[in-house]
Structure 1
Amino acid sequence: MTQPTPNKQHLLLVDDDQRMRELLTDVFTGKGYQVTATADGREALLHLETVAFDTVITDLMMPQVSGTEVLEAAQRRDAQLPVIIITGYGTVDSAIAAMKIGAHDYIQKPFDPEELALIVKRALAHYQLVKQNRDLTARVTLLQGTGLIGSSAAIQGIKEMIVRLAPLAVSLLICGETGTGKELVARLIQQNSDRAASNFLAINCGALSESLLESELFGYERGAFTGAVEQKKGLLEVAHGGTLFLDEINSMPLSLQVKLLRVLQDGTFLRVGGTKEITTDLRVVSASNTDLKGLVSKGLFRDDLYYRINGMEIDLPPLRDRREDIAELAYHFLNRYSHKYDKAIHEIAPQALRMLSDAPWPGNVRELENVMSRAVIMEPGAAITTTALPPSLGAASLPPAAANLMTLEEMERYMINKALAATNGNRALAAQTLGIDASTLWRKTKRYDL
């Protein structure tokens, strides 16, 4: 049995005319195709059962097993597999009938072999697209149940981008407001890439001071600074072979941007206090919750680093722009936390669902998850009702009397959310607006899962 040759498109040629069979075999072999040729339709059926072909070329009128039967067998194997019918004078009507039941094309004898070669070339190009679309659809389907919940056109587009870009050695920038799922998308990219079996490490560039961020990224040598009692490898080194996710890269100080640029350009760096050059091979996926181009124009972010990290950009929409996904997300989190807290709640009352759907969600999916977790805890019945939802939910702005309806924690969480939304996710500016230091804001956003 003929075995497929890697990287060669494989043709099945079926014709009981020996001279025609040998001529076409020579023509297609000369054009770089792998050809399996047979004079017997019965043998062709056996080939179709065991070998994956890219196109079938078959004579229509043959003894014992006809070209139509070969066509039907090919369609049982793969309904999209192109079958080209060779027909003689007087059998054109039969060829047209074969087209009606799925043949890709037909050619009438006598013919120029180059004309047939052109038909085959077009059939192969069509089948290649079919297979690519199948593969894309299959990989998108695999993303279902991975946490990227939603059936909106926006989310389907994100899933398609993930499966298209994940296998490619290209730097990626994920943009979106706080809570839209940037780290989840980064993890899905890692899981669908050739680095899936290696490390995925994440760091929030906005949560650490400049010196601590430098130490975490680049590592340090013993004695590099007070307290450096032993050598420590940085994330750039530990993530070798895998993926490093730089969240809130928009908050990275300019001094560190220069050092990161060198890593992305050369794959080399020095530990803090070190003199030995270290080489690393990793994929960097970055994320920003604010407009990086705007920061570049203001001189707050290096343009050369921007273009280095932005090989391709994935923009995640805020939850308010894909409200059709809110019900699906709400039920997803309902099932998760009902199981976690061992509560038999499987429904959301219509009024509560309407309240969820109409809410502004400045904290996006992360805020919705937190609300549903709280609702499952608070709900005494078998369905989530409005009484289990935060009183502030759905308020685009804080009503004067709302403070009397909130706990202190709810008020604090609400104001932090508002500050982050008003500053486009700039944590340093949000902390200044709230009158607290950055470290306090970081602790509170972790506490409230913002």
Structure 2
Amino acid sequence: MKVLIIEDETAFRQVLEEEFRGEGGDVTGVGTGKEALQAFEDREFDIVITDLRLPDTDGIEVMKAVREAGIEVPFLLMTAFASVRTAVSALQMGAADYLIKPVRVADVVRRVKQIHELDRLQRENTLLKRMVRQDYSHYWYPDTPVSQQVQQLISKVCDTDLTILIVGETGTGKGMTARLLHSVGPRSDRPFVSVNCGAIPENLVESELFGHAKGAFTSADKATDGLIKAAHGGTLFLDEIGELPLPVQVKFLTFLEEKIVRPVGSVKDIKVDCRIIAATNRNLEDLVAEGKFRRDLYFRLNVFQISLPPLREQKEALPSLMNFTIEKYKQSFDIGEVVVPDEVRDLLYSYSWPGNIREFDNAMERALLLRENKEITVNDLPPAIASAAVGTSGMLSPDSVSGSFKSRVETFERHVIAEAIKAAGGDRRAAAQSLGIGLSTLYRKLES
């Protein structure tokens, strides 16, 4: 429990500090309202104990300033100058309780414990209500043992500020999981900033994340806030964290440890409070061994890991995923009944789905758009999947690709890129180099 004690009587404050530390508390003690507000800029607290009368202000004004800053924390007020008016005013402002001096230290400790437990229960109740109200139409998790374990992990950490590392192959739902963690957590009404570390040119990653001062480089004609600062109060989701350049990893590690950012070309540090969720489809331990990822950053990110299974290991969930996807696009496209014959179902089940949920979603979207009537046929499926029906080797032939010239080229490019990524063991940067294209180009073509 992190406790802030605001008391100008030094001896009494020190006794309280010693007592709470003996109870295992993380205690900060200050003597003025100004020092208290400064303490809130440096860290978060679970409860505040404050004297009503302070040398430079009063406890109610401190509580009001904290509330106006958007910080929700219970206050326990103490005073030797009691009156009904001040008590009512304090409680109306949101104080958890009001104690009259002289007061026994043991009574303060007992009441603080009661208030802290009540606040924890209220937060838990608020979380449960949010989860009940949450619109799950954009989230799909199969009813399989491994997926149920993932959902249990999500429920345990969504109401905390723990740094989360989500691992899994491309298309397994890492971004979806990050959004769900944010949407049912205490920061759900604050920004969710998603950054694909691999899609930003290497020479721009630092300024994109940390911002830059005016004149920091040739084209910096004005100061710009970075994406980290944009996530203040909310959640920063760093997808493909394994692609973060080594020089930027050093600076990002400093941010994780100190919660401050310094824009490129600036000498001023900016304090940022946000939750960090990172994701990767690569083995970070291997990257550490290869000298491509900092070991200390890996340990800072890997506080709590959520591993998402590939779709091929959950084939029993395909009927559920198919129904979910069809219903989603029926609403988007305003279409009626959809029939999926056994021939198509068997093909979907036999396919290995290297692109996982994302590939399945794209395949069903295409099929729903191309079908001539209510029934989906094999020809409505993407060529890479449809080719499995006639036992092809997986290479695209001219006859297996339909549509306009542009769509045929895009399909072929995606197939070649997928094969290159597979050959590179999931290393997209290496795949881009083997194809002679930039990493950002590879991402753009995959998403087209």
Answer yes or no: same fold by TM over 0.5.
yes
Which of residues 268, 274, 277 in structure 1 aligns to 2:269?
Answer: 277
Which of residues 359, 362, 368 in structure 2 aligns to 1:370?
Answer: 362
Between the two proteins, what is the percent identity of the paired residues?
38
Is the 1:140–1:160 contact (alpha carbons within 8 Å) kept by the matching residues of 2? no
Which residue pairs with 2:410 in the alignment? 409
Task: Return closer, same or farther for 1:317/1:399 CA change in 2, 3 Å cut-off.
Answer: closer
Secondary structure, counterpart of 1:202 in structure 2: strand
Which residue pairs with 2:244 in the alignment? 252
Choose 408-417 or 377-386, whichever is displaced more: 408-417
Q: Does 1:302 align with 2:294?
A: yes
Q: Aligned equivalents of 1:237 and 1:136: distance in 2?
A: 29
Secondary structure, counterpart of 1:150 in structure 2: coil
Q: Aligned equivalents of 2:239 and 2:193: distance in 1?
A: 11
Task: Return closer, same or farther for 1:281/1:320 CA change in 2, 3 Å cut-off.
Answer: same
* Structure 1 gap ranges (5+): 1-131
Is the 1:234–1:271 contact (alpha carbons within 8 Å) kept by the matching residues of 2? yes
How many equivalent pairs are there? 315
State the 1:338 CA deviation.
Answer: 2.8
State the 1:409 CA deviation.
Answer: 3.0
Q: Aligned equivalents of 1:436 and 1:401: distance in 2?
A: 21
Q: Aligned equivalents of 2:213 and 2:198: distance in 1?
A: 24
Q: Aligned equivalents of 2:228 and 2:197: distance in 1?
A: 14
Which residue pairs with 1:102 in the alignment? none
Which residue pairs with 1:311 in the alignment? 303
Which residue pairs with 1:57 in the alignment? none
Secondary structure, counterpart of 2:365 in structure 1: helix
Task: Return closer, same or farther for 1:317/1:136 CA change in 2, 3 Å cut-off.
Answer: farther
Which residue pairs with 2:146 in the alignment? 154
Task: Return closer, same or farther for 1:403/1:225 CA change in 2, 3 Å cut-off.
Answer: same
State the 1:399 CA deviation.
Answer: 4.7
Once the two structures are superposed, what CA deviation does each residue of 1:5-32 show, in whole Å capped at 9, x if it has no partner?
xxxxxxxxxxxxxxxxxxxxxxxxxxxx
Once the two structures are superposed, what CA deviation does each residue of 1:49-68 show, in whole Å capped at 9, x if it has no partner?
xxxxxxxxxxxxxxxxxxxx
Once the two structures are superposed, what CA deviation does each residue of 1:248-275 show, in whole Å capped at 9, x if it has no partner?
0000011000000000001112100000
Which of residues 177, 180, 192 in structure 2 aligns to 1:200?
Answer: 192
Is the 2:238–2:279 contact (alpha carbons within 8 Å) kept by the matching residues of 1? yes
State the 1:353 CA deviation.
Answer: 1.1
Is the 2:167–2:307 contact (alpha carbons within 8 Å) kept by the matching residues of 1? yes
1:367 alignment partner AA: E
Structure having the higher Rg: 1
Q: Aligned equivalents of 2:151 and 2:397: distance in 1?
A: 39
Which of residues 329, 338, 345 in structure 2 aligns to 1:346?
Answer: 338
State the 1:419 CA deviation.
Answer: 2.0
Secondary structure, counterpart of 1:393 in structure 2: helix
Q: How does 1:81-100 map to 2 (within 5 A)?
A: none
Q: Does 1:287 align with 2:287?
A: no
Is the 1:392–1:402 contact (alpha carbons within 8 Å) kept by the matching residues of 2? no
Q: Aligned equivalents of 1:401 and 1:238: distance in 2?
A: 43
Is the 1:392–1:398 contact (alpha carbons within 8 Å) kept by the matching residues of 2? no
Is the 2:288–2:295 contact (alpha carbons within 8 Å) kept by the matching residues of 1? yes
Task: Return closer, same or farther for 1:431/1:140 CA change in 2, 3 Å cut-off.
Answer: farther
1:196 alignment partner AA: S
Is the 2:202–2:245 contact (alpha carbons within 8 Å) kept by the matching residues of 1? yes
Is the 2:210–2:228 contact (alpha carbons within 8 Å) kept by the matching residues of 1? yes
TM-score, length-normalised on structure 1?
0.66
Is the 2:351–2:385 contact (alpha carbons within 8 Å) kept by the matching residues of 1? yes
Q: Aligned equivalents of 1:354 and 1:418: distance in 2?
A: 24
2:213 alignment partner AA: E
Once the two structures are superposed, what CA deviation does each residue of 1:137-164 show, in whole Å capped at 9, x if it has no partner?
9959968544123111122211111111
Is the 1:345–1:376 contact (alpha carbons within 8 Å) kept by the matching residues of 2? no
Which residue pairs with 1:68 in the alignment? none
Q: Aligned equivalents of 1:243 and 1:139: distance in 2?
A: 18
State the 1:435 CA deviation.
Answer: 3.1
Which residue pairs with 1:268 in the alignment? 260
Q: How does 1:89-168 map to 2 (within 5 A)?
A: 144-168=136-160
Q: Does 1:390 align with 2:379?
A: no
Task: Return closer, same or farther for 1:142/1:195 CA change in 2, 3 Å cut-off.
Answer: closer
Which residue pairs with 1:235 in the alignment? 227
Q: How does 1:30-49 map to 2 (within 5 A)?
A: none
State the 1:398 CA deviation.
Answer: 3.5
Which residue pairs with 2:5 in the alignment? none
Is the 1:320–1:361 contact (alpha carbons within 8 Å) kept by the matching residues of 2? yes
Task: Return closer, same or farther for 1:437/1:398 CA change in 2, 3 Å cut-off.
Answer: farther
Q: Aligned equivalents of 2:223 and 2:366: distance in 1?
A: 43
Q: Aligned equivalents of 1:155 and 1:239: distance in 2?
A: 29
1:354 alignment partner AA: D
Which residue pairs with 1:172 in the alignment? 164
Secondary structure, counterpart of 1:285 in structure 2: strand
Secondary structure, counterpart of 2:384 in structure 1: coil
Is the 2:165–2:305 contact (alpha carbons within 8 Å) kept by the matching residues of 1? yes
Q: Aligned equivalents of 2:175 and 2:397: distance in 1?
A: 33
Task: Return closer, same or farther for 1:399/1:224 CA change in 2, 3 Å cut-off.
Answer: closer
Task: Return closer, same or farther for 1:157/1:148 CA change in 2, 3 Å cut-off.
Answer: same
Secondary structure, counterpart of 1:383 in structure 2: coil
Q: Aligned equivalents of 2:213 and 2:134: distance in 1?
A: 43
State the 1:403 CA deviation.
Answer: 4.0
Q: Aligned equivalents of 2:157 and 2:367: distance in 1?
A: 37
Q: Aligned equivalents of 1:408 and 1:217: distance in 2?
A: 34
Task: Return closer, same or farther for 1:140/1:155 CA change in 2, 3 Å cut-off.
Answer: farther
Is the 1:139–1:163 contact (alpha carbons within 8 Å) kept by the matching residues of 2? no
Is the 1:244–1:285 contact (alpha carbons within 8 Å) kept by the matching residues of 2? yes
Q: Aligned equivalents of 1:401 and 1:184: distance in 2?
A: 30
TM-score, length-normalised on structure 2?
0.66
Choose 423-432 or 236-245, whichever is displaced more: 423-432
Secondary structure, counterpart of 1:338 in structure 2: helix
State the 1:433 CA deviation.
Answer: 2.4
* Structure 2 gap ranges (5+): 1-123, 402-407
Which residue pairs with 2:431 in the alignment? 430
Is the 1:149–1:328 contact (alpha carbons within 8 Å) kept by the matching residues of 2? no
State the 1:311 CA deviation.
Answer: 0.6
Secondary structure, counterpart of 2:199 in structure 1: coil
